Amino acid sequence: MTSTLRPAPDSVEALEELLSRPRPPTVDVLRALPGDIMVLGAGGKMGPTLARMARRAATDADGRPDARRVIAVSRFTEAGAAEALQAAGVEPIVADLLDPQAVATLPDAPSVVFMAGQKFGTASAPSLTWAMNTLVPSHCAARYPAARIVAFSTGNVYPLMPVDGPGSREVDAPAPVGEYAASCLGRERMFEYASVHAGTKVAVVRLNYATDLRYGVLVDIATRVRDGQPIDLAMGYVNTIWQGDANAIALECLAHVASPPYVVNVTGPERLSVREVALRMAARLGREPRFVNGEARDALLSDTLRMNADFSAPEVPADTLIEWVAHWVGTDRPLLGKPTKFERRDGRF
């Protein structure tokens, strides 16, 4: 498909406007589900733009912002993050979700998007990762038993799959590699427990690499090409999705919550070759890519048949996203400096 979002954004402000721009199905879902929206763990890479998208999509029949609250909960350790959300009409609440008393005092909300978790630092502090990825979900599921809950998870709960196959399907048995992935399966199980035993309606989003131009798999590849750093081909194929599309699908999952939970892989439908992406980036950046290792016969890949059947297609296809990332990195726009470590095959982060 051809993207309708050209040209590439040229500033952080333009980028965040695109990332938080709701598509018509997102507006339709939130219009059909009145009531406040709670975003738990909203201070990470995706949370701010998802909360802003929810605020922009929560409108009345005339397209005007409705009276509901969109509430973003986080420790908000980054300076100015809470203030920026407040300026966008989102209500920030500073809270530590590891503290059950803090969770107990949060406002009621019929719709909850759960985004809290920890990945990086797992190898050095595994107990904190397990606490963030299992205790926090338990606290939050107990606080909102009657809510519609969309819980973010990850494709890392699956095993590596043959690169010539369709990728992991939602019905496949999880086989996480490493403590991070295992703890994420633990997160899913906490919400599944609440769904089965308390009747909480849940949707689990198994996200496989969102890209927002400042970070993501494609940004990792582009910066390595630009800087002359070696690109490891051992994880030779990847899926990724424009973060704005991932935000939209996650919010639209509020219409798919169920007990037991509805589970959906969320990623781009394209299987991308790391080598081919690097060569395309190199052509745009005027560099010669350096490769190490060779492509293995398996990789972390997700099948998107369910996503394609239940949701509108992503608005930004991989070809456009590759162009945008090359432009952003090539013109020295701001980056988050948070590599995905997508090339790790041992699950250590």
Three-class HEC string of 221-276: HHHHHHHCCEEECCCCEECCEEHHHHHHHHHHHHHCCECCCEEEEECCCCCEEHHH
pLDDT at position 322 is 96
Domains of the chain and any CATH numbers? 12-212+242-268+301-314 (3.40.50.720)
- Which of helix, strand or coil describes residue 313? coil
H-state helical runs in 88-171: 100-104, 126-130, 136-143
* DSSP secondary structure code for residue 155 in this structure: G
Side chain identity at residue 69, one-letter code: R
Tokens of 3: 């993207």
Average pLDDT for 191-199: 97
Q: Which one has a higher pLDDT value, 305 or 4?
A: 305
Average pLDDT for 108-128: 89
Sign (positive/negative) of CA torsion 277, 279, 284, 289?
Answer: positive
283-324 tens-digit pLDDT = 999 999 999 999 999 999 999 999 999 999 999 999 999 999
Tell me if 12 sits within 8 A of 215, measured CB to CB: no
pLDDT at position 1 is 39
69-78 tens-digit pLDDT = 999 999 998 8
Confidence of residue 62 (pLDDT cuts 50, 70, 90): confident
Tokens of 15: 């980028």
Average pLDDT for 186-204: 97
What pTM was computed for the model?
0.95
Average pLDDT for 49-58: 97
94-114 tens-digit pLDDT = 999 999 999 999 999 999 999
Confidence of residue 3 (pLDDT cuts 50, 70, 90): very low
171-181 tens-digit pLDDT = 999 999 999 99
